[in-house]
Structure 1
Amino acid sequence: MQVLNYIPVPLVFIEPDWNIVAYSSEVAVQFSLSSSLLDWTDEESKRKLQRLIVPKSTQKIELNLIHKDGTLHLYDIYQKWQEDRYGYLILMEKEQSSQRLSFQLQQLRQQLLAPPEQRKQPEIGKPVDPQIEELASKLQWMEDLFLQIQPDLLEDRKAHFISQIFLHLKDAKTIIKNLEVKNKSQ
């Protein structure tokens, strides 16, 4: 594998099996040393990568890629293939707001994947505040939505899913702030 120091853009040179032949120094700063593009790709994005980054494709795609520090970042991937032998990928990181969303989605995904016994359960017999019940309902709704998001569906209905997530996150934040105020006054 070769680092191309003279290329001023984040460029990756790959083979059809996604093995990395070379990459620019811009890429070397962000990603760990690896022989495969799959190693930099989030688990949920791997199928999408395998389906859409293929010889003869010129389609721009979005993928979640993992930086050296383990954080997820959303990228636009532009591809150009030289016959069926080599692909040139330009990796353009999305805006900061998209990065924050990716980070929040990563945190929520980790929480959702936690074993049930590690999730905090309410004590039986304690009266439950109606705001807590509403918050639980909002969070359950978001969990159900996250379980429905599949890589192939994400592209088709991304705007709808994201707007619904933000709406429920905003409601959940309001409930949490109200509970904080309520607890401080007690």
Structure 2
Amino acid sequence: MSMLEYVPVPYFLVDTDFNILEWSVQSGHVFQPAANFLDLVDTFSKDKAKKFLATRSSDSAELSVDQPHEKDTLIQHRGQAIQKVEIVLKTNSSPYSLFECHIQWDNDIGHLVCIQQDERIQELTTLVQRHRKRLAETDFELLQQKEQLEDSLKRIKQLSASFIKLSPSVGLVPLFGDLDRQLVDENTKVLQECVYDGHYTTLLFDFGGLAELTSEGIHAFAEFMKSFYLMGVTCYVIGMRPPHTQSLRNRSFGEQIIYMNNLSEIINVGKHVS
């Protein structure tokens, strides 16, 4: 019984013209019967197959590992040159299948092994698709988290400008966080409705809880104050700190705004307008 029966991969014994002298049982399962190995090679791969598979051990001095050669095509093994090349072969199941072919020459006899790469490519493709799906799911989760975070930030901004009734005509609006455009935009409509529905004539905006006044926030707040001025509401800004005054250098919230820091003045305002 021939040992070729037990070779687990397609194996061919060929001569210098690639005539098939023997082949393994597995070769018969994968390929159609052929007299010459090149008959199994795709038309566009034949020149490549001839070029690389024809290199024999006697040529190793010309194509050694120390001399220039095609990357990953030459393997040094026990002093013999084993040539490796990827070519497209015609199989029983497909006219175009990628194989990695290894050949080692013993004088004029070549031992040729063909290892199919289609399954490896499919595995890599499946792996890439799996990673792509995972990335898509991760992107969706990140998008959901981003939306939740934006909703939370929006809610925080809304809570950063609450309305407190001091008297039938006076309201207090303590501000917290940073004075930016988002804080103003998120609270403009709510505060305007509170003032209009409650018939308030005076508003006190407390800056004591603000950390930073941004340029956009200053501009937005000035427009906000202008809307109250047009509604006939007198606006006071209280609790200004030194960093706030530096941010307002060469800028202002408008001439209609009254600034106060003295607690007694604020109490007097409440008495006169209540």
Identify the TM-score tier after normalising by the shorter chain.
0.3 to 0.5
- TM-score, with normalisation over the residues of structure 2? 0.33
Greater share of helix: 1
- TM-score, with normalisation over the residues of structure 1? 0.48
Higher relative contact order (CA 8 A, sep 6+): 1
Greater share of strand: 2
Name which one, 1 or 2, has greater alpha-carbon Rg: 2
